[in-house]
Copies of this chain bind each other. A is one copy, B any other.
Amino acid sequence: MSQGRPTLADVASAAGVSVSTASLAFSGAGPIAPETRERVHEAARRLGYAGPNPLGRSLRSGRSGIVAVVIGDQLRRSFRDPVSVQVLDGLVSTLGPLGLGVLLVPAHTTTDGVAELDPLLEAAPMDAAVLIWGAREEDGVLAALQRRGVPVVVGEGPELPGVAVVGVEDRIGTAELARHLLELGHTRFGLVTLPLSHPRRTEVATPERLARPEWAPARHRLQGLADAGVEPVMIVETAGSLVEEGRAAGRLLLDVPEPPTAVLAQSDLLAAGVLLAARELGLRVPEDVSVAGFDGLDLPWMAPDVLTTVAQPLGAKGEAIGRAVEQVLAGELPATVRMPVSLRVGTTTGPPRS
A-side interface residues toward B, CB under 8 Å?
5, 48, 50-51, 54-56, 58-59, 62, 64-66, 68, 74-76, 79-80, 82, 85-86, 88-89, 92-93, 96-97, 99, 101-106, 109, 111, 118-120, 122-125, 147-149, 243-244, 247, 272-273, 276, 280, 300-304, 315
Contacts and interface: CB of A to CB of B under 8 A. Distances in A.
B103 A120 contact: no
A157 to B, nearest CB: 24
14 contacts: A48-B147, A55-B58, A55-B62, A65-B123, A66-B66, A80-B82, A80-B85, A96-B118, A97-B111, A99-B123, A101-B120, A244-B300, A272-B301, A273-B300
Contacts of A85: 75-76, 79-80
Contacts of A89: 74-76, 79
Q: Which one of A65, A68, A74, A280 has the highest number of Cβ atoms from chain B below 10 Å of its Cβ?
A: A65
Contacts of A48: 147
A122 B54 CA distance: 9
A75 B99 contact: no
A106 B96 contact: yes
B65 A124 contact: yes
Contacts of A247: 300
B149 A5 contact: yes
Given A51-B122, A96-B106, 16 more contacts: A50-B122, A50-B147, A56-B59, A66-B66, A68-B101, A74-B93, A79-B85, A79-B88, A97-B111, A99-B119, A99-B123, A101-B105, A101-B124, A102-B104, A243-B301, A276-B303
Which of A50, A80, A280 has the most C-beta atoms of chain B within 10 angstroms of its own C-beta? Answer: A50
Say how many copies of this protein the assembly contains: 2
A272 B89 CA distance: 24
Nearest to A75: B89
A160 B154 CA distance: 42
A121 to B, nearest CB: 10
B76 A86 contact: yes
A272 B303 CA distance: 12
Contacts of A304: 280
Contacts of A123: 51, 54, 65, 99
Contacts of A104: 92, 101-104
Nearest to A71: B92
A317 B44 CA distance: 38
A109 B96 contact: yes
Contacts of A272: 301
A233 B301 CA distance: 27
Contacts of A51: 122-123, 148
